Structure 1
Amino acid sequence: MDIVILLVVIAVVALGVISGLVVSGRRKKEVPPPEGDAPTTTAPPGEPHVGEEAEGAPEAPGRTIDEVGLPGVTDAPPVTEEVAPPPPVEVPEPSAGRLVRLRARLSRSQTSLGKGLLTLLSRDHLDEDTWEEVEDTLLTADVGVTPTQELVDRLRERVKVLGTRSPGELRALLREELLTLVGTDLDRTVHTETSGAVDRPGVVLVVGVNGTGKTTTTGKLARVLVADGKSVVLGAADTFRAAAADQLQTWGERVGARTVRGPEAGDPASVAFDAVKEGTAEGADVVLIDTAGRLHTKTGLMDELGKVKRVVEKQGPVDEVLLVLDATTGQNGLVQARVFAEVVNITGIVLTKLDGTAKGGIVIAVQRELGVPVKLVGLGEGPDDLAPFEPEAFVDALLGD
């Protein structure tokens, strides 16, 4: 028994010695190798605690926030947007005699009519074939069937009575007959004076189909009126096209005329009403109202035009309603004119692009169709190429020198 106990004690002691040796060996393995055998690592210095100062001097002296500045901000002075100065106010040339000054431009396209007639009438024998050629020449120039027949009948009678026909006599004869057809006794004044003692501006309504140059004509008419010493307010009642209001305003700024406009796609009658109201408040002489171009076949749009006129008339009568026609459309322009005349009371015609067509006879035809005179003609793209219509200058342009 004692021997067994002794053996257990010896075993326990042996295990203890062996365990100590193993632990000692492990600790020896964890000891770092001697200096020079392997690289050593150094732990980073500890962070300073609150109240302590970091070791070493700063790299540079500290700067204030004003000295540092903000990212992306430079010391350059602020850039200010330049506001474009308003365009200088122009002084249009006087309207009196303007058609005479533009006669050369008109005659370039119109002399084929006059020269053709003079050539035919100068023949030794004026037979039926010649008179048919005279008729064809007049019809081709859009004089119209009825006026053509009247002119040919009078020419046949007077040539027969005249007998001998020198070039000078024929020219004088033809000039006289053409003047009779064009009409020298018609009132071609653009009425801008109010009737009676009513203290309000004259109101001019400008109407027409798309593409006739209506807005441009309104702007040019403003120049004509300003040249005649009148103050003008423009009403941009074409609310379907924002560009129309911008264009009209540009025309007005060039002659010092203010433009009254409304929101895009707004009520054109409301804009027209406001234009007359503000023109009255400002003491203007004339209010020009530019309406939207509309096809004469569109009943709804034509009814809207009638509404514009009725709304404006709540402040007083409209003194002038000008229908703008493109002279190059010829007889088709007469169809347009009839429909417009049924909706609003047309008082005058403006023929544009008359310098670009040989169909000057449309002047005679449209006057005969509507019973109203041609008051203004457009003879080019320039700002002062709208001229009061003068029958004598027009006929002289037809016949040439």
Structure 2
Amino acid sequence: MLTPELVTLLTDPVLIAILVVALLVVGGAAGIVVTRRRRSALPQADQPAPLETAEPQVGDDAETPRDTPTRTVEDTELPEQAPTVEKPESAQGRLVRLRARLARSQGSLGKGLLALLSRDKLDEEAWEDIETTLITADVGVAPTQELVEKLRTRMRVEGVGAAQARDILREELIALVDPSMDRTLAVTRKDTQPAVVLVVGVNGTGKTTTVGRLARVLVAEDKHVVLGAADTFRAAAADQLQTWGERVGARTVRGPEGGDPASIAFDAVKQGIAEEADVVLIDTAGRLHTKTGLMDELGKVKRVIEKSAEVDEVLLVIDATTGQNGLTQARVFADVINVTGLVLTKLDGTAKGGIVIAVQRELGVPVKLVGLGEGADDLAPFDSEQFVDALLD
């Protein structure tokens, strides 16, 4: 039974508030205890791992830690793709293909001569036409007069007709081209050093392309080749030569634009010696034959190279389309540096194949290589008989 005093206490607002607060505190503590007991009762596998050691699960966001530095495209190292090394065409395959091209492009000279020699009557007018045809084809005045005199004598003495005219013309043209000249390239490695080939010529004759093509010819013969980019005056020359080298696996030694050509040539030879290369090909800057200072620089390049190795070949590159102007260039280069061989480029772009005869007669130096067309393998050793046969085919 509630007494009046107890009722008074139960209805006191202050006391009621104290009781409510006490009940809330006791209930919260009891809930925490229950929760801890439930968590401890869970299986070990179901408990989440601590934050610092947790592994990401499927569906979790993959976020880069904020203390990890970011990398730009420039900082990222991509795997380098090895350049594809080509297998150049063999020399024999080039000769067959180039002879066909030469026959198509030079046929007008041979056809013109055969048409004149096949006339029923070879009078003075006919022989004058023959002389004109030869001179127009850049054979040169002296060689033309020599050839015409031999043709007149043989056809008169032997009494041959049109059928035999071709054979006589072929024999005399071959003799004029002079098959006795040594046309082999000095590209054989010596005991302690590689063969060194220096390539020279005026602007625009195709020296750098010739060096690249010659490298392909030598690589096809299983020779180890090093290229020297000594043309430092033309911005793209070193890049062009390096591209040629990379295509066949040949190293290119180069220097700064506008640098000393003699120094680069010397470094290329040193590299060739270090690698025990078979051949070092040196590309030089094109220079006008009228510029004395530039011409004298060629002599310096050669002298600097010879401090460490002998220069075995000096190849003069001549544009066959320049005709008699090419002869003038050749004379000046021959006076400045000892030219050992000639390279005739763009021979397919002209019917004036007689430049072969004229330049050899002028310098006493053999044509060793000819270039036809724009292809990478459009360079081949010169062959007297095949050249004449191409003219007459």
TM interval, shorter chain, is 0.7 to 0.9
Whether contact under 8 Å (2:136, 2:352) holds in the other structure is: yes
Q: Structure 2 residue aligned with 1:193, among 167, 183, 188?
A: 188
Task: Work out whether residues 194 and 319 of structure 1, in 8 Å CA contact, stay in contact via their aligned partners in 2.
Answer: no
Cα-to-partner distance string for 1:362-395 (whole Å, 9 max, x where unaligned): 0000000110100000011100000100111111
Please tell me whether residue 397 in structure 1 is matched to residue 390 in structure 2.
Answer: yes
> Residue 173 in 1 paired to residue 173 in 2?
no
* Corresponding residue for residue 257 of structure 2: 264
| Match of residue 177 from structure 2 | 182
8 Å contact kept, 1:268–1:308: yes
Are residues 1:296 and 2:289 paired? yes
**Cα root mean square deviation, aligned:** 2.5
The aligned residue for residue 341 of structure 1 is 334
Partner of 2:91: 95
Match of 2:20 in 1: none
- Looking at structure 2, the residues matched to 79 and 294 of structure 1 have their Cα atoms a distance apart, in angstroms, of 43
C-alpha distance in structure 2 between counterparts of 1:75 and 1:346, whole Å = 57
Query: Deviation of residue 340 (structure 1)?
Result: 0.5
Displacement of 1:99 after TM fit? 2.1
What is the Cα deviation at residue 241 of structure 1? 1.8
Q: Does structure 1 conserve the Cα–Cα contact (< 8 Å) formed by 2:101 and 2:372?
A: yes
Q: Are the counterparts in 1 of residues 119 and 162 from structure 2 also a CA contact under 8 Å?
A: no
Alignment of 1:70-81 (within 5 A): 80=76
Tell me whether 1:211 sits opposite 2:204 in the alignment. Answer: yes
Instruction: Within 5 Å, give how 1:81-120 maps onto structure 2.
Output: 82=78, 85-96=81-92, 98-120=94-116
Instruction: Look up the equivalent residue of 1:241 and give its one-letter code.
Output: R
Query: 1:307, CA displacement in angstroms?
Result: 0.4
Amino acid at match of 1:291: T
Within-5 A mapping of 1:1-400? 80=76, 82=78, 85-96=81-92, 98-167=94-163, 169-193=164-188, 198-400=191-393
Q: Displacement, 1:116?
A: 0.5
Deviations 1:214-247 (A, max 9, x none): 0010000000011111100000000112310000
Q: Deviations over 1:114-163 (max 9, x none)?
A: 11011101111111000000000000100000000000000000010122
Q: Distance in 2 between matches of 1:129 and 1:254?
A: 55
Change (3 A) 1:74 1:205: closer
1-structure distance, mates of 2:264, 2:217: 23
Report the AA paired with residue 165 of structure 1.
G
Distance 1:135 1:268, change over 3 A: same
In structure 2, stretches of 5+ residues that fail to align are: 1-61
Amino acid paired to 2:188: E
Distance of 1:311 and 1:164 partners within structure 2? 58
TM-score by length of 1: 0.79
Query: Which whole-Å deviations, capped at 9, do the CAs of 1:220-277 have from their partners, x for residues lacking one?
Result: 0000011111100000000112310000000001111000001111100000001001
Q: Which residue matches 1:20? A: none
Cα offset, 1:102, TM superposition: 1.7
Q: Residues 79 and 308 (structure 1 numbering): CA distance in 2 closer, same or farther, change over 3 Å?
A: closer
Shift of 1:80: 4.0
Aligned pair count reads: 333
Distance 1:76 1:351, change over 3 A: closer
Any idea what the Cα deviations from partners look like across 1:166-203, whole Å, max 9, x if unmatched?
32x111111000000011111111111256xx400000
Show the counterpart of 1:11: none
Secondary structure, counterpart of 1:284 in structure 2: coil
Report if the CA contact (8 A) 1:223-1:384 is conserved. Answer: yes
Superposed displacement of residue 75, structure 1: 12
Q: Residues 123 and 263 from structure 1, CA distance in 2 versus in 1: closer, same or farther, beyond 3 angstroms? A: same
Match of 1:44 in 2: none
**Inter-CA distance 131–246: structure 2 relative to 1 (3 Å threshold):** same
TM-score normalised according to structure 2 size: 0.80
* CA apart distance, 1:78: 10
Aligned to 1:242, what secondary structure does the other structure show? coil
